[in-house]
């Protein structure tokens, strides 16, 4: 009787240990990519890359490599830069998943899109 009881407790104990260990391993594996900054070059009146997919929480930086000023803004007003002169940068952190089409508000034919996936 005693040995049977001990065996049952042992199986339950292993299950508890596994349940405690697995979420930690999963979280550690997915934490790294979200913190990586990402840069979009503005060159020759175009955004490169034109479409960028990032994890939620990622900070995206635009850098103006043109001699002409550019000003970034999305259609919903979520983010908006000042006019960027040559070598100026603008950064925005995308906290919420979704699609964010944007343009250069000085040259509206310049279009780009940020796609934000849920973190993890
Ligand atoms: Cu422009």
106: left (phi > 0), else alpha (psi -120 to 50), else beta? alpha
Distance CA(68)–CA(33), nearest Å, equals: 33
CA of residue 107 to ligand 1 center, whole Å: 4
Single out the residue of 76, 69, 120, 114 nearest to residue 94, CA to CA: 114
Distance CA(107)–CA(78), nearest Å, equals: 19
CA of residue 103 to ligand 1 center, whole Å: 8
CA of residue 27 to ligand 1 center, whole Å: 40
At 10 the pLDDT is 52
Q: What is the pLDDT along the chain (120 residues), one digit of tens a residue?
A: 444 444 444 544 444 444 444 444 444 444 445 456 699 999 999 999 999 999 999 999 999 999 999 999 998 899 999 999 999 999 999 999 999 999 999 999 999 999 999 997
pTM (2 d.p.): 0.70
CA of residue 118 to ligand 1 center, whole Å: 30
DSSP 35: G
């Amino acid at each position: 009787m005693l040995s049977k009881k001990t065996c049952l407790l042992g199986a339950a104990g292993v299950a508890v240990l596994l349940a405690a260990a697995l979420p930690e391993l999963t979280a550690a594996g997915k934490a790294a990519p979200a913190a990586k900054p990402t840069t979009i070059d503005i060159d020759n009146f175009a955004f490169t890359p034109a479409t960028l997919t990032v994890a939620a929480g990622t900070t995206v930086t635009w850098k103006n490599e043109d001699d002409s000023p550019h000003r970034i803004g999305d259609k919903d007003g979520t983010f908006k830069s000042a006019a960027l002169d040559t070598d100026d940068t603008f950064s925005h952190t995308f906290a919420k998943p979704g699609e964010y089409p944007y343009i250069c508000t000085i040259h509206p034919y310049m279009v780009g899109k940020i796609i934000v996936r849920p973190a993890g």
